[in-house]
Amino acid sequence: MTSKKKSVSVVPLGDVPEVDLQVIADHIIGCFKLTTQILPPMDPPEYALDERRLQYNAAIIIEMFESIHFSDHDKVIAVLNQDLFIPIFTHVFGEARQGGKCGLVSLYRLAKNPDGSTPPKSTIHERAAKVALHELGHLLDLLHCEHKKCLMHFSGGIDEVDEMSLDLCEYCSIYLQDKLR
């Protein structure tokens, strides 16, 4: 068994504002206590565009990412502006496979409230941090949690993202500590 701390890289796909990357990296460090590094941008995932839906297929992007060798990085959080979907949902804020290597965070739908109004920047940043930590939770083997305030609660709409907290419930927290040991 190795006690080496897991490290997470945050990588922008295309032109993602530096501040969003920094907020995500800071929350990974602060909330999950993991070593985090922001990598130089990679190309936006045009290969994953679904021409009929005009959205990007999250599974195709993750598959591509899982095939890349990121040396020294245990987990990768890719951040992009494109609207993501998986076939059973109209859209997703992020996507990751349980225990996988690479998770996605889409900023596309975070800058609008359910009533169409624009939230303050601080709200958008908090949402981005929640989605990123939630997907990283999946990469670290966490499943969805029924507690509405828990970071691992499933969010289908932005109101549910707002309702959940940046923290794991007691149960998920113990599970994660066990995984990171």
Using CB under 5 A, list all residues that contact Zn ion: 145, 147, 150, 152, 169, 172
C-beta of 150: minimal distance to Zn ion in Å?
Answer: 3
C-beta of 140: minimal distance to Zn ion in Å?
Answer: 12
- C-beta of 57 vs 155, nearer to Zn ion: 155
C-beta of 120: minimal distance to Zn ion in Å?
Answer: 25
- C-beta of 34 vs 152, nearer to Zn ion: 152
Contacts of 81 (CB under 8 A, 6+ apart): 14, 15, 16, 44, 106, 107, 108
Identified catalytic residue from 51, 126, 135, 146: 135
Q: How far apart are CA 11 and CA 94, in angstroms?
A: 14
- C-beta of 68 vs 174, nearer to Zn ion: 174
Please confirm, yes or no, whether 135 is among the known catalytic residues.
Answer: yes
Give the DSSP letter of residue 86.
-
Q: How far apart are CA 77 and CA 65, in angstroms?
A: 10
Q: Which two tokens stand for residue 19?
A: 């501040």
Q: Which residues are catalytic?
A: 135
